[in-house]
Chain A
């Protein structure tokens, strides 16, 4: 096992742990996406390019797009925007005072 593969493995573990620790749902989906991408590089290193192509297309592409669509459907993205807007409005009021 080369150093490159070990580095990728370490990155996988960091990704997997940080998915569960991130408080923003959008961030955890992005981390999950990068996990799939690193996994596809690892598949190439393990000499299975068929799996690598599938992992990149399905894991990093379609699955995370479906996750985004679901977040939009349950208004998880929208609510965060509203919260930010409110915070900004409050700040503006404070600065006016």
Chain B
């Protein structure tokens, strides 16, 4: 602190508390709504304190099929989201490590061309080329499959870039020593480079897990079979059912289930996540 201004300190805490309230308020209301009976929510104003139906509501959505979501239970949708998020995170880390290793540690013809091809994906978010990408996936017979949900989202260059930046900071002496001891490139990669990148791998994992979990448009397009619905897209169906009244207590319980896993990942791995986020974008 540069100088002591008591009123300024009070103001700071006040502003920060307002910010925290702004952030937490929707989450709190969603939680509260998920613990009441359906009737309590449609009768006038929503209560501000939790009710006593929490166990009941969550058990219903987790096990029973939800009409609004097209029949799949929230348990199934959570599992699908988990598979999708994990495939995207693991797949992306695997192919990015390999290609970053190739680009940094080898000299071969068309190296820069490969680099720019990978780089170009940064400029083509899925939302921009939805229709043709959908056609490709449909022609490959990958609709309604976990492969169709995850593989098209794996190849963006962000992770490749982070690993490339990191590999460039690894001292040359390590590669030299490995070569002198007779280790081939793969040995060097497996025994030295990957263990050194542990922190970066973990940070990328957090970011990619959240990215995969929160996908919306893509699962909406490639899944028509309810057993492949993910939770984030399932909740929309629950809320905007046109002909029946949205069952808000179940919809909000689903929302809480949809946001809980990524929130826990962020909170538990906060330090890694912040580091990863700020460094990927540099």
Chain B associates with chain A: no
